[in-house]
């Protein structure tokens, strides 16, 4: 059986995480690497 975890973030924490992931995504894009998984994570973090 798999364990499931829930991570609850405040609006400020969520904003910080999204900005960090966007900065990371930009660095990955600059290297020409696929960002599909990063995009999915950003989309997940952006949900309210």
The reported pLDDT for the residue numbered 45 is: 87
The answer to whether residue 19 sits within a structural domain is yes
The full DSSP string for 13-43 is HHHHHHHHHHHHHHHHHHTT---HHHHHHHH
Query: Mean of the pLDDT values across residues 10-32?
Result: 96
Is 2 inside a domain boundary?
no
Q: How many domains does the chain have?
A: 1
Per-residue pLDDT, averaged over 21-35, amounts to: 97
**pTM of the entire predicted model:** 0.78
Residue 28 is assigned to a structural domain of this protein:
yes
> Does any domain span residue 1?
no
Residue 35 lies in a domain: yes
For 31, the domain range is 11-46
- Give a yes or no: residue 38 inside a domain: yes
Would 4 be classed as within a structural domain?
no
């Amino acid at each position: 059986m798999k364990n499931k975890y829930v991570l609850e973030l405040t609006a400020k924490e969520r904003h910080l995480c999204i900005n960090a992931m966007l900065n990371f995504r930009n660095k990955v894009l600059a290297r020409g690497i696929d960002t599909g998984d990063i995009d999915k994570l950003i989309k997940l973090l952006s949900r309210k």
